[in-house]
Amino acid sequence: QKEVEQNSGPLSVPEGAIASLNCTYSDRGSQSFFWYRQYSGKSPELIMSIYSNGDKEDGRFTAQLNKASQYVSLLIRDSQPSDSATYLCAVNSRSGGSNYKLTFGKGTLLTVNP
Amino acid sequence: GAGVSQTPSNKVTEKGKYVELRCDPISGHTALYWYRQSLGQGPEFLIYFQGTGAADDSGLPNDRFFAVRPEGSVSTLKIQRTERGDSAVYLCASSFGIRDTQETQYFGPGTRLLVL
């Protein structure tokens, strides 16, 4: 059973602070890692993807991947109230055949306080 | 269209009834996925289509659930003899279908199903 684990939160940070979101996964064969943002009542929206060890930066967002530790994280710098949402960690593992499904964690609820 | 569309946006039905949920993927996307999201949970995979064929239906919970994509574009998720436990948001996603785990999946707005 492939699992993706996240702290459900809520994680509360003040405006302008760095928010740190963490995710661990069980399948060592996992190849691709995604962070989706989901506002209440809305569908998931991709904000970052990462495929190799190290850091990947895009604006205020930095994704970090450590395959040896089976750990992926998302840092949000200069957090804004509009960043308040649930952040979903998703992993894509190809385990034979045409298996390209995403396995999601439960999500971490982030609240940025003005 | 510009994005993945799903209809209806909301569906209320009674236990034991049959429902159909429709997904219209992004034009040109050959891969289509159905997920189910219960309250407080992440989306859970149901089925993946590559073109017209179901390449992976391992996430369908039981034989009451069935999905089709007859022309390789629009897909319909069908649920027979609905149960209260089927209540959830059903999400559809599509991607280019280049058969690569790095491929981005784009989600539709979802259909919120409530079984009374």
What type of residue is A62? T
Percent of chain B clearing pLDDT 70 (strictly above): 98
Cβ–Cβ below 8 Å for B42 and A100: no
User: What CA–CA distance (Å, rounded) separates A2 from B101?
Assistant: 15
Q: What pLDDT does B7 receive?
A: 97
Amino acid letter, residue B88 = A
Q: What share of chain A is helix, strand, coil (3-state, %, to 5)?
A: 5, 55, 45
Is A100 an interface residue toward B (CB < 8 Å)? yes
pLDDT classification of A29: cutoffs 50, 70, 90? confident
Which site among B89, B95, B101, B107 would you substitute to test the A interface, given the most A Cβ atoms closer than 10 Å to its Cβ? B101
For residue B15, the distance in angstroms to the closest alpha carbon of chain A comes to: 24
pLDDT tens digits along A74-85: 999 999 999 999
Average pLDDT over residues A64-93: 95
Mean pLDDT of A76-96: 89
What pLDDT, on a 0 to 100 scale, did the predictor assign at position B4? 96
Residue A9 has pLDDT above 90, yes or no: no
With tokens 């539709």, the residue in question is: B108
User: Which residues have C-beta within 8 Å of that of residue B5, sequence separation ≥ 6?
Assistant: B23, B24, B108, B109
pLDDT reading at B61 higher than 60 = yes
Which position has the token pair 């034991």?
Answer: B16
Percent of chain A scored above 70 by pLDDT?
93
Nearest to A51 by CA among A94, A114, A111, A2: A94
pLDDT surpasses 70 at A1 = no
